[in-house]
A and B are shown apart, each in its own frame.
Chain A
Amino acid sequence: MDTQSKSRVAVGVVAAEGKKRHKGAMQIYPYWFFVPAAVLFTVFFVVPTIYAFYFSFTRWTLFDAEFIGFSNYVDFLNDPQLSSGLVHTIVYAILTSGLKVVISLPLAFLLTSALALKTLFRSIIFFPVLVSTVAVGITFSILMQPTSGLINSWLRVFGISGPDWLGDPNLALISVALVDVWKGLGIATVICIAGILAIPTDYFEAARLEGGTWVKFRYIIIPLSRNAIFSIILLSFIGGLRSFDLIWTMTHGGPGFASDVLTSVIFKQYQAGFYGLSTAGNVVLFILVTIIIYPLQTFFHRKEIEL
C-alpha cells in the first residue's frame, strides 16, 4: 500500500485522473511479471551471498556449523599462503586491466585508420574472446614450456633464451596475466573502436590542420574516448578480481603458491573440506570487489564526458 501511494506521488498527475491512470498502469504492468526472475535471482544468488557472511564465522562441514568467531579471517590473514592470494589477486587485476587499456587503445586507433585489412584484423583479434578459457589455458601452457615450447623455440632463433614462463615463481602470475590479456584484448579493442567512432569528425578535421598522427592520438583520441577507457578498466578489473579458469588450468596456483589468487584459494580450501575457511575467502573477495569497484565507478561516473 505504501509503495502504491509513493509511486502515485511520483507519477505526479492531477489527483483524480492520476488515481485512475495509476490503477490502469497496475493492471497493464502487473508486478507478478517480475516474480520468476526475482525468485530465481534471490534464491540462487542473494540467499547464498547472505549465507556466506554467516558461515564464514563457522567451522563448517555442510551438515553442521560450529561458530568460531573471526578465527577463519585470522587464519586467512596470518597464513602467508592464503594472504598472498589476496595480493596476487590485486596484482593480477591491475596488470590485466592496465595492459588491456595500454594495448587496445593504440590498436583501436590503428584499426580505425586507413588499413585495407582492418575488418579482417578486428575479427582475428576478437575470436579468442569466444574460445573456451580451458582450451586457451591448455594451449598456452604447452606453448610456454621452457625447452620444447614454441615461444622459447622461436625466441632462440633470435638468440634470446626465454624464461621458464610458468615454472618460475616470480614469473608465473605475470605469464598467466599475459595470456589473459591475449584472450580479452578483442573485447577491449572493440570497445575502444566504438569509443573512437563516436567522436564527432570535426575534431579530427581540426587535428588534421594542426598536426600529424601523434597529435590526433594524444589530444583527441585519448581524452575523447575516455568513457570507453573507463569501461575497459572497470570491466577488466572486475574480471581480473574474479578470474579463476585461466589460472586454474595453467598453473593450479603454482608453482607452490606463487600464482594463487583468491578464487583459487577458495577452490583449494573447498576441495580440502575447509568450507568455513573457503567461505571466508569468498567474503574477503566480496569486500575487495566492493571497496575497489564502487569508488572507481563513482569516480568514473563523475569524470564521464558528453560528446
Chain B
Amino acid sequence: MNTRKLIKNLWLDALALVVIGVLFIVPFIFIFLMASKTSQEASRFEFSWPSQFLLIDNISAVLAYNDNRMLLAMWNSTILTVSSVTLIVFLSALAAYIMQRRPGRVTKIASTVMLAGLVIPPAVVPTIYLLQQLSLYKTLLGLIFVEVAYGLPFAILIFRAFVGSIPRELDEAAVIDGASPLRVFLQVILPLLRSAMVTIIVVQSVGIYNDFSHPLYFLPGSQNVTVQLTLFTFISQFSSQYNLLFANAVVITIPALILFLFFQRQIVAGMTSGAVKG
C-alpha cells in the first residue's frame, strides 16, 4: 500500500518535472543558447547547442557597443534603484510610524489617498508637464522622485502593519529617558522594522530595476538610458544580431538571478504580504 503510494508520487514528480521544465526552464535555456551563438546561427531561432560557444564574446560586444552604452545604462539603473529605494524606505517608515501611532482625521485622509495610489494608474503626460515645470524632466532626479511617489503606498502599507506590532510603551520609555522624537524613531523603531525593511528593499528594487514604462516616458534621451531601455532599443539596432540581443537580455537578468538566489524567501514573503491577511 505504502510503496504503491510512493510510486504514484514518483510518477507525479516526474510528470511535473517534465511539464514545468518545458514551460518554465526551456525559455531560459533558449535565452542562454541564443546568447552563446554566432549571429547566423542565432537567426535560425533553433533550440540547439551552439557550434562555437561565444557567450563571453557576445557579452563583451554588448558591453562595448556604442561607446560603452550598456555600462552607462547599468550605472544609471544602479543610481536610480539605490536612491529611490533608500528614499522609499526612510520616508515610508517615518510616515507609517506616525500614521500607526496617531490615528485621527489627518491619518484617515492620508491613508485613503495612499490606498488610491495603490490602485489608480499614474497620469503620464501631466506628470511630464509637471516635471518640465520643475525643470526635472529628462533628469535622473526627476525619475527618482516619481519612482518614490509610486513606491510609497505599498511600503507604507507594509510598515504600518509592522509598527503595529511594536508596543507603544517602548517609545514612551525612550521619551522618558530623554530621547527626542527623531532619536526614538531612528534608534528604537527603525531597528525593530528590519525584516519589513528587507522585504521592501527587495521588492522595490526588483520593481524599479525592471521598470520599463516610466523611464520610457520620463527619462528619454540617449544619455539617460536605463538597462531595460537598452534591451528595448537594441531590438531595432541589432535587427539581424539576435545573439547580441539575447546576450543583452542575459546581462540585465543577472542581477535578478543573484537576488533570487540570496533573497528568495524574503522576496516571496514580501510579494505575498500585501495580499494575504493573517
Residues of A within 8 A of B (CB): 3, 6-7, 10, 24-31, 33-34, 36-38, 40-41, 43-49, 51-52, 55, 60, 62, 110, 113-117, 121, 123-135, 138-140, 142-143, 145, 148-150, 153, 182, 187, 190-191, 194-195, 198, 227-228, 231-232, 235, 238, 241-242, 244-245, 248-249, 263, 266-267, 270, 275, 278-279, 282-283, 285-286, 289-290, 293-294, 304, 307
Of residues 27 to 71 in B, which have CB atoms within 8 Å of A's CB atoms? Answer: 27-28, 30-31, 34, 44-47
B276 at the interface (CB under 8 A from A): yes
Looking across the interface, which residue of chain B has its beta carbon closest to that of A234?
B275
Residues of A within 8 A of B101 (CB): 25, 28-29
Residues of B within 8 A of A (CB): 9-10, 12-13, 16-17, 20, 23-28, 30-31, 34, 44-47, 87, 91-92, 94-95, 97-99, 101-106, 110, 113-114, 117, 119-130, 132, 145-146, 148-150, 152-153, 156, 171-172, 175, 181, 184-185, 206, 209-210, 212-213, 216-217, 227-228, 231-232, 235, 242, 245-246, 249, 252-253, 256-257, 259-260, 264, 267-268, 271-272, 275-278
B interface: dominant SS: helix
How many pairs, one residue from A and one from B, have CB atoms within 8 Å of each other in the complex? 272
Residues of A within 8 A of B267 (CB): 126, 130
Contact A33 B185 (CB under 8 A): yes
Q: Other than the known A25-B102, A34-B98, A227-B276, what 10 A-B pairs have Cβ atoms closer than 8 Å?
A: A48-B123, A117-B13, A126-B268, A131-B256, A132-B212, A134-B212, A150-B47, A191-B275, A231-B275, A232-B275
Contact A129 B271 (CB under 8 A): yes
The 8 Å CB contact of A139, one of B105, B132, B228, B249, is B249
Contact B94 A49 (CB under 8 A): no
Contact B124 A289 (CB under 8 A): no
A45 and B110 CA atoms in complex are apart in Å by 13
The 8 Å CB contact of B122, one of A45, A126, A241, A283, is A45
A123 and B235 CA atoms in complex are apart in Å by 30
Contact B148 A286 (CB under 8 A): no
Contact B104 A51 (CB under 8 A): no
A interface: dominant SS: helix
Looking across the interface, which residue of chain B has its beta carbon closest to that of A244?
B213
A28 and B101 CA atoms in complex are apart in Å by 9
Between A and B, 12 residue pairs with Cβ closer than 8 Å are A6-B105, A44-B127, A60-B125, A121-B20, A131-B256, A132-B209, A138-B249, A148-B44, A235-B275, A270-B125, A282-B124, A286-B120
Residues of A within 8 A of B181 (CB): 27-30, 33
Contact B145 A115 (CB under 8 A): no
Q: Which of A24, A33, A121 has most chain B Cβ within 10 Å? A: A33
Contact A128 B24 (CB under 8 A): yes
Contact B132 A62 (CB under 8 A): yes
Contact B210 A132 (CB under 8 A): yes
A43 and B91 CA atoms in complex are apart in Å by 15
A267 and B213 CA atoms in complex are apart in Å by 9
Contact B256 A44 (CB under 8 A): no
Residues of A within 8 A of B124 (CB): 266-267, 270, 278, 282
